[in-house]
Structure 1
Amino acid sequence: MSQITGTADDNTLIGTAEADQIDGLDGNDFIRGEGGNDLVEGRRGRDDIFGNGGNDTLNGGGGRDDIYGGDDNDQLNGGRANDELFGNRGNDQLNGNDGNDTLAGAGYVIGNTSLAFGGGEIDTLTGGSGADRFNLGIPERLLDDIRLPQGVFYTASGNNDYALITDLSVAEDTIGLLGSASDYVLVEQSFAGAGDSSTDTLIHQNNSGQAGELIGVVADVTGLALSSSTQFTFFS
């Protein structure tokens, strides 16, 4: 195990193939975990944090951070500011905590790396306080040298891959979907994967007016409407 610690300035910190503990301290840091089950602390400043291989725990801290999981089962934790969290492959847990955060369980590309759109995985998204957005699909977008290709997440394995949204606040949070309201169907039922017997809202792709591929489960929330611009944001 390696202990890697930054300074009060802007740092580039790269881990090893082993399980590392990386602490960015102050500054706007670039931190990459590489292999192993890493623990990364961004601390203060606007940080870019990448897990890569291993089951990583990636903590943003006090600044407005962009946090990216890797190929395995990662835990991503935002902090007090408005953070963006991207899980990528594996069954990830994304926690926005404070601030107006954006959470997406899958889907980004660096260089020629193949894209993960959430096939065969179950991601758990918890926004925390603030007005958060849970993206279940995205338009093409660039963040520095990171490409977010257009696509709908969780469309490969029926009811066996989806995003579980645990704490949607109807008063302030939104769900981001690619396309239009007519591309989706909402079903209210108790879903075993949500963890209790309460009634949940399931988000399916529209298959000729019927519930098709499951892409999202909103735990313990009913009464959602795809026509509501305060509940859903549609990307073209």
Structure 2
Amino acid sequence: MTNLYGTDANDTLTGTENQNSLYGLSGDDLLFGLADNDKLYGGDGADELRGGEGNDLLAGNGNSINDSSDRDRLFGGAGNDILIGEYGNDFLSGGSGDDTMIGAGGRVLDLFGSVSRGDGEIDILYGGTGADKFVLSGGSGRDGVGPFYSSDGERNIAILLDFNPTEDKIVLSRFNSSPITPTTEVEYTLGALPEDFPAGTGIYASSKGGLPEPIAAVINVTPESLSLNAGYFQYI
């Protein structure tokens, strides 16, 4: 196991053919995991992470929950990878293999533990080949579950470029809660996207009695061809 750490400047870190843990820290960094099962952490700044071969964990990180200025680019490469964009407007590409892409929030040790509520966050998720999982919600627990991209009327949204209902999954939360508010059930609907989006399907979320907000855009898939009751939607 090799551990490499960057600086507060713009760094390029390249791992070995064995397992690596790369930490970019501050600055706009470029991290290469190469072969084997690597862990790449971008830190602050607009980083580019490339896992290479193996089952890799890539986490873009970011400055703060209210800062969407860091625009990270994560490329899983071959293998079954986990890509976590965290805060900012990120691009996630799983590559080949069965990948899991988490556009917002998330903790490395508790992947479904927190919710990003930045201002106008837009994440672009591209699964690539293989049976991929697009995680759009937090999971059960006390640490802020519910849709990542619902943010009191702000346009926080994930754009799914290549969702394939015959093999991919979209993960949604049944409930929306925080440590200080009661748990409320989330209602989802499918519909047309706003005019400034490409053709596709919008996934809308709302608490009971609230107005629906778009949390995801599934590009090149019509609303009529999707069903919230189908197996490609998973609820946690």
Same fold (TM over 0.5): yes
Q: CA contact under 8 A between 1:204 and 1:211: conserved in structure 2?
A: no
Does the CA contact (< 8 Å) of 2:146 and 2:186 recur in 1? no
Q: Distance in 2 between matches of 1:162 and 1:168?
A: 15
Aligned partners of 1:47 and 1:65 also within 8 Å: yes
Q: How many residues align?
A: 213
Contact 1:159 1:214 survives alignment (8 Å):
no
* Alignment-derived partner of residue 206 in structure 1: 206
Aligned residue type for 1:130: G
Cα pair 1:119 1:155 within 8 Å, conserved: no
Displacement after TM superposition at 1:130 (Å): 0.4
Displacement, 1:149? 5.9
Q: Report SS of the residue matched to 2:101.
A: strand
Within a 5 Å distance, the mapping from 1:157-236 to structure 2 comes to 157-158=152-153, 160-179=155-174, 183-189=187-193, 191-193=195-197, 196=198, 198=199, 200-208=200-208, 212-222=212-222, 223-229=225-231, 231-235=232-236
1:49 aligns to 2:1 (yes or no) = no
2:27 is the counterpart of 1:29: no
SS at match of 1:62: coil
1:4 maps to which residue?
none
1:103-142 alignment to 2 at 5 Å? 103-109=101-107, 117-120=116-119, 121-139=121-139
Q: Which amino acid aligns with 2:118?
A: G
Q: Distance in 1 between matches of 2:139 and 2:190?
A: 21
Give the secondary-structure state (helix, strand or coil) at the position aligned to 1:158.
coil
Q: Is the 8 A contact 2:146 2:174 kept in 1?
A: no
Structure 2 distance, partners of 1:49, 1:232, is: 29
Q: CA deviation at 1:66?
A: 0.6
> 1:49-82 CA distances to partner (integer Å, 9 max, x unpaired)?
1001110000000010010002111000001100
Give the 3 Å change call, closer, same or farther, for CA 149–15 of structure 1 in structure 2: farther
* CA RMSD across the alignment: 2.4
Identify the residue that residue 10 of structure 2 maps to in structure 1.
19
Return the offset for 1:84: 0.4
Is the alpha carbon distance of 1:157 and 1:150 closer, same or farther for their aligned partners in structure 2, counting shifts above 3 Å?
closer
Work out the CA distance in 1 between the residues paired with 2:210 and 2:192: 13
Is the 2:11–2:29 Cα contact (8 Å) retained in structure 1? yes
4+ long deviations beyond 6 Å: none
- The two structures have a TM-score, normalised by structure 2, of 0.82
Matches within 5 A, 1:73-152: 73-109=71-107, 117-120=116-119, 121-139=121-139, 150-152=145-147
